[in-house]
Structure formats: structure tokens, C-alpha cells
Amino acid sequence: MDIDLKTRDEVASRWIFFRQWLRNPLSMAAISPSSRQLAKRMIAELPVDCRRVIEFGGGTGAITKALIDHGITPENLLIVELNADLYRHLRSRFPRVPVVHGSAADIERLARESGFDRGGPADAVVSGLGLLSMARADQRAILDAAFSVMTAEGRFIQFTYGPVSPVPIEVLSELGLIATRSRLTWWNLPPATVWVFSRARSRAVPAVPSRLR
């Protein structure tokens, strides 16, 4: 029996991902691409009426495909991939989607040079980066850069394989962010949890009139 095109695409993506993991396991957050269930969980956390999205660490394109199926148009999607082989794979698999080769911490420059910023700020950043294993300085740089290219209500949607937030409270406090945890996705390999980071909203403190002396 012939394998259908969709199945062939998934098999090819898994092989490419696993080959990259074999070459440098410390640079990869998992040993296989994100599952459909995890991609759906990420999509479910997008803001209402989300139109423009940046993806950090596109990998083999599992979440990219889910974003396109959700209705995000190619011109309103930008993928950032640091791995050269995965970058070339993404460009081949999604020829209409702008894919840039570089670090997520350089997103301001990458968005400007690719022309993505001419369409306005992003509504969300979805990330498959291994934030949990990064130094705090790198986490801070990536999150700070991400929120600089998003709207005031923008969300940074990240999945992680650990039981706690991939970003420590100290970094979130420094950047004025709050974290919200979604449910665990058991059908991913390994099981993953989606976290949503957004800007904290400070409540106004009423002025206390001073007493006249």
C-alpha cells in the first residue's frame, strides 16, 4: 500500500529532527517533533482574533502547520530557526512563509530585515525553544526581545518538558511579566506543558491626601 503524502511528510520530519538530535542532543529540547495534541494546545492559547504570529524554533514545522491550518496567513507568520538544516527544511516545506536564520534574541533586527515589521506588531510569539536549559541572561534577552515586537496584549506561548515554569520568577519580575500554566499534554514525547507569559497589569494606587498642618 502506498503511504499518503501526509504520512510521508510526517515520517520525513521525524527523521530530520532525530538526525539533528543525534548530531547535537544538547541543542535539541526533544528527540521528536511536537505532537498534534501539543500543537493544538499551543494554538488554543493564542489571543482572541490573533492575526500575526512569530514562531521561535520552528523545528520541522509541526506547530507551523497548525498555525496555518488555524488561519494564520503566510504573510502574517514569521519563523525564526537557528539550526541551519532545520532552517533549510522549513523554507522547503513552507515556501510561502518567511523563514529567517538566526537567534530569537535578534528578533527586532530579523523582523525589520525580513519586512515582517511593516505589517505591524505580532499578536503572539509561539516558542519551541529550550528555555528551561538556558542561562537566565539568555532567557531574559529572548523574552525582552519578543515583547518588544508584540502588541501590548501580546502573549509568549512556550511549551516545556519540566513540571515548573521554564522561566524563574526572578526573570519574570525583572521584565514585568506573569506566567500562566496550561494542562499537561501526555501524548507528546516527552509529555509537555504549555506556559503563557504576558505583561503584568499593575493596579492604580489611589493617592492619599496629606493632612494640613
Q: Is residue 73 in a domain? A: yes
User: 141 lies in which domain range?
Assistant: 36-199
What does 157-188 look like in DSSP terms, one character per residue?
Answer: EEEESSSS-SS-HHHHHHHTEEEEEEEEETTS
181 assigned to some structural domain = yes
CATH number at residue 191: 3.40.50.150
Is residue 212 in some structural domain?
A: no
Query: pLDDT by residue (tens digit) across 89-135?
Result: 999 999 999 999 999 999 999 999 999 999 999 999 999 999 988 99
Asked if residue 3 belongs to a domain, the reply is no
Asked whether the beta carbons of 85 and 93 are under 8 A apart, the reply is no
Mean pLDDT over each residue of the chain, to the nearest integer: 83
Q: What is the mean pLDDT of residues 74-78?
A: 97
Q: What pLDDT sits at residue 38?
A: 86
Q: What is the mean pLDDT of residues 142-159?
A: 97
Task: Establish if 50 belongs to a structural domain.
Answer: yes
From CA 157, how far away is CA 42, in angstroms rounded?
A: 7
Residue 34 confidence (pLDDT): 53
Domains identified in the chain, total number: 1
Residue 52 falls inside a structural domain? yes
Residue 25 lies in a domain: no
Cis peptide before 191 (omega within 30 of 0): no
User: Shortest CA distance to 145 belongs to which of 102, 195, 116, 107?
Assistant: 107
Residue 89 falls within a domain, yes or no? Answer: yes
Cα dihedral 63→37→135→17 (10° resolution):
-60
Considering only 32-36, 177-181, 193-197, which range has the smallest mean pLDDT? 32-36
